[in-house]
């Protein structure tokens, strides 16, 4: 060792490294997960835990993902059980929830051959009726349309037929 070099001091076992800044806030990860299961937003969870949403997202991203997945799965299971039963109001509420929180959608796209546009101008009325019926069957709406036409009104409030006249 050269004379102008100094030997580093050995680590002091009694000296603890200190972090600068505020002490880390203790947040219960189980609470965060239960709140995420209840589908609370990150801002709402942060408000309950008295910290910033960034802190929740940074420290608990996996807990949030897992909690939200468990909560959404519970609603899906309950919807399945309810669909087998007869509680239409409860099923409608669960469907609304899943559309809002789980990406459930009842939209569909109708295209012509090979995904191109539909050519209506060359269809007869009978061909157009058959095409529409085929699309409704594909989307599972044909029975609902038939019910509405038989009763002269709406089928479960979803589709209304104009009065004859």
Render each residue's pLDDT in the chain as its tens digit; 165 residues. Answer: 555 555 666 666 665 666 688 888 999 999 999 999 999 999 999 999 999 999 999 999 999 999 999 999 998 888 777 777 766 777 777 788 788 777 777 776 667 777 777 777 777 888 887 877 777 776 666 566 666 666 655 444 444 444 444
- Helices 125-139, 142-151: axis angle to 10 degrees equals 110
Instruction: Round to whole Å and give the CA distance between 68 and 36.
Output: 5
Instruction: Round to whole Å and give the CA distance between 15 and 117.
Output: 74
The pLDDT assigned to 154 comes to: 46
3-state secondary structure of 5: coil
The sign of the torsion formed by the CA atoms of 135, 140, 144, 146 equals positive
* Cβ within 8 Å of residue 102, ≥6 positions away: 72, 75, 76
The pLDDT assigned to 98 comes to: 80
The pLDDT assigned to 40 comes to: 93
Instruction: Round to whole Å and give the CA distance between 13 and 32.
Output: 36
3-state secondary structure of 65: helix
The pLDDT assigned to 117 comes to: 76
């Amino acid at each position: 060792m050269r004379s102008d070099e100094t030997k580093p001091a050995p680590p002091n076992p009694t000296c603890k490294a200190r972090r600068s800044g505020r002490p880390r806030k203790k947040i219960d990860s189980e609470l965060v997960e239960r709140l995420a299961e209840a589908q609370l937003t990150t801002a709402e969870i942060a408000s309950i835990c008295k910290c910033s949403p960034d802190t929740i997202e940074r420290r608990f991203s996996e807990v949030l993902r897992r909690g939200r997945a468990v909560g959404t799965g519970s609603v899906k299971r309950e919807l399945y059980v309810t669909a087998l039963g007869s509680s239409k109001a409860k099923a409608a509420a669960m469907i609304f929830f899943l559309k809002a929180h789980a990406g459930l959608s009842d939209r569909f796209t109708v295209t012509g051959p090979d995904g191109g546009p539909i050519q209506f101008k060359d269809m007869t009325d009978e061909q157009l009726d058959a095409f529409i019926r085929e699309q409704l069957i594909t989307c599972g709406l044909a029975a609902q349309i038939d019910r509405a036409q038989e009763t002269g009104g709406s089928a479960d409030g979803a589709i209304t037929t104009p009065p004859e006249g």
